[in-house]
Amino acid sequence: MALSADINDLKEILKKITDTIPEYLFGPDRMSYLYGYIDKISPSERVILRQYINKLLTGMIEREASDIEIGGHGNGAYVWLRIFGKKERVKEFAQFTTDEFSVLIINLLNINQRKMLEKNRNLDFSYSYHYERRHVDVRFRADAYYDLDSLALNMRSINMNVRPLEGLDFHPNVLKTMSHSYIKFGLSLITGITGSGKSSTLDSIIDAHNKIDPAHIVIIAAPIEFVHKSNASIIRHREVGRDVTSFKDGVIQALRQDPDIIVIGEMRDPDTILAALEVTDTGHKVFSTLHTSSAVESIDRIIAEVQPAEQERVRNRLADVLVSVVSQKLVPSLDGKRVLAKEVLIVTPSVKAAIKNNNTGEIYMMINQGGPQGMITMEQDLKRLYMQKRISLENAVSYSNNKTRIHQLLSAV
């Protein structure tokens, strides 16, 4: 897609703004000047700046990219995309100076967001625009930050459609643990590193309930990504920083909102972890995410996040409320795209005892032997994908958590 139609007008506006920056201003002072100056340009000029960002995002969508990188010293004047897992500069897009990129980024923000970014040096927010070619509104998760005193922006595309939960290859027993109709309370975790598709899996779970379950679902996230339309379920979306001040407050307040299912975008601090365990303990179905790469690491991380004096209590409470853990990765596939690999833990009485007795090291072998119950280790699932000729041998090994175990499994092939 050509992005040159309004480029002359765009460049003229950017030059007019950046030419006003006093030569003696550097670093944070330079950004502070631009934060204030953006309100001095005309509404029509601001629209042109925003329209160009929308054109970049359209180009991103049409190239099937997951992320776009705009601005900052590291970009080297280019816009970069991540396409099927690989970052690359896009030479067809126009090039800009760091000051010009900063103006484009600042123009996306309202006054309060600009104040937060200047104070915290980081800002998570959501962004949407109307994609005319498909006649739909598309959404992005955005993160603005500083790179050597200039502004940089990552925007991640949020899928316009939710993948059916049945298409994620979960064992029927695993689907039961996630189902509010089958188990009315309990904590289910979706874990993985950044970019592993955790939010997409959560959306699939929410969508599955929304089709058949007459329940009240409260989603607390930072930011809200996919927006669900209430169907069988009534679904509330509460964005941290906009609708609620923190994850912890959102979880506690949800108790007064008559929920059946509470979705916590991320258990990122001790207060949120303790609040999540508390609301689960009161008889609610809770789903959340962690930045961990295995089921055992997820359990250990939750316990380690709280103060040592609290760990024994948290360990016992976690053992009582945890019902399942899915740890997932997106692995490059042989067709040039990516495929989901996952480790699945179902909390059986033996797993519960291992958590309570602080013997989490035993859990991996329980997962390894729990195939009939729906469990699978990351290594077993990577072997499955390799045997199905969906991923390479090299990626089966490199994406495994346990190198010794993956070599043992593959040597038997």
User: Is 213 found in the same domain as 345?
Assistant: yes
pTM > 0.75:
yes
User: Is 169 found in the same domain as 150?
Assistant: no
User: Is 376 found in the same domain as 293?
Assistant: yes
pLDDT for 268 equals: 86
User: Is 228 found in the same domain as 129?
Assistant: no
User: Is 293 found in the same domain as 175?
Assistant: yes
User: Is 174 found in the same domain as 234?
Assistant: yes
The answer to whether residue 141 sits within a structural domain is yes
User: Is 205 found in the same domain as 352?
Assistant: yes
The answer to whether residue 203 sits within a structural domain is yes
Contact 343, 378 (CB under 8 A): yes
DSSP state of 87: E
What DSSP assignment string belongs to 320-381?
A: HHEEEEEEEEEEE-TTSSEEEEEEEEE--HHHHHHHHTT-GGGHHHHHHT-GGGT-B-HHHH
Q: In the structure encoding, which two tokens stand for residue 294, read together?
A: 């295995």
Tell me how far apart the alpha carbons of residues 193 and 306 are, in angstroms, rounded to a whole number: 21
Residue 176, amino acid: K
Tell me how far apart the alpha carbons of residues 151 and 320 are, in angstroms, rounded to a whole number: 45
The answer to whether residue 2 sits within a structural domain is no
Tell me how far apart the alpha carbons of residues 28 and 386 are, in angstroms, rounded to a whole number: 50
Angle at 387 between CA 382 and CA 393, to 5 degrees: 60
pLDDT for 2 equals: 45
Task: Point out the domain boundary residue: 92, 125, 157.
Answer: 157
User: Is 207 found in the same domain as 134?
Assistant: no
Nearest to 68 by CA among 130, 97, 151, 59: 59
Task: Point out the domain boundary residue: 88, 123, 157.
Answer: 157
The answer to whether residue 276 sits within a structural domain is yes
User: Is 235 found in the same domain as 341?
Assistant: yes
Task: Point out the domain boundary residue: 157, 191, 210.
Answer: 157
* Domain at 129, CATH number: 3.30.450.90
User: Is 147 found in the same domain as 264?
Assistant: no
DSSP state of 164: P
User: Is 137 found in the same domain as 262?
Assistant: no
The answer to whether residue 405 sits within a structural domain is yes
19 Cβ contact partners less than 8 Å away, ≥ 6 residues apart: none
Range of the domain at 61: 7-157
Tell me how far apart the alpha carbons of residues 107 and 43 are, in angstroms, rounded to a whole number: 11
Angle at 220 between CA 136 and CA 81, to 5 degrees: 50
Tell me how far apart the alpha carbons of residues 153 and 151 are, in angstroms, rounded to a whole number: 7
Domain count, the chain: 2
The answer to whether residue 123 sits within a structural domain is yes
User: Is 219 found in the same domain as 138?
Assistant: no
What DSSP assignment string belongs to 89-129?
A: EETTSPP--HHHHHHHHHTTS-HHHHHHHHHHSEEEEEEEE
pLDDT tens for the chain, 413 residues: list them.
445 447 989 999 999 999 999 999 998 999 999 999 999 999 999 999 999 999 999 999 999 999 999 999 999 999 999 998 899 999 999 999 999 999 999 999 989 899 989 999 999 888 999 988 888 889 999 999 999 999 999 999 988 789 999 999 999 999 999 999 999 999 999 999 988 999 999 999 999 999 999 999 999 998 888 899 999 999 999 988 789 888 999 999 999 999 999 999 999 899 999 999 999 999 999 999 999 999 999 999 999 999 999 999 999 999 999 999 999 999 999 998 899 999 999 999 999 999 999 999 999 999 999 999 999 999 999 999 999 999 999 999 999 999 999 999 999 77
* Domain at 217, CATH number: 3.40.50.300
Tell me how far apart the alpha carbons of residues 240 and 188 are, in angstroms, rounded to a whole number: 21
What is the residue whose two structure tokens read 């000047």?
Answer: 33
pLDDT for 4 equals: 45
The answer to whether residue 1 sits within a structural domain is no
The answer to whether residue 114 sits within a structural domain is yes
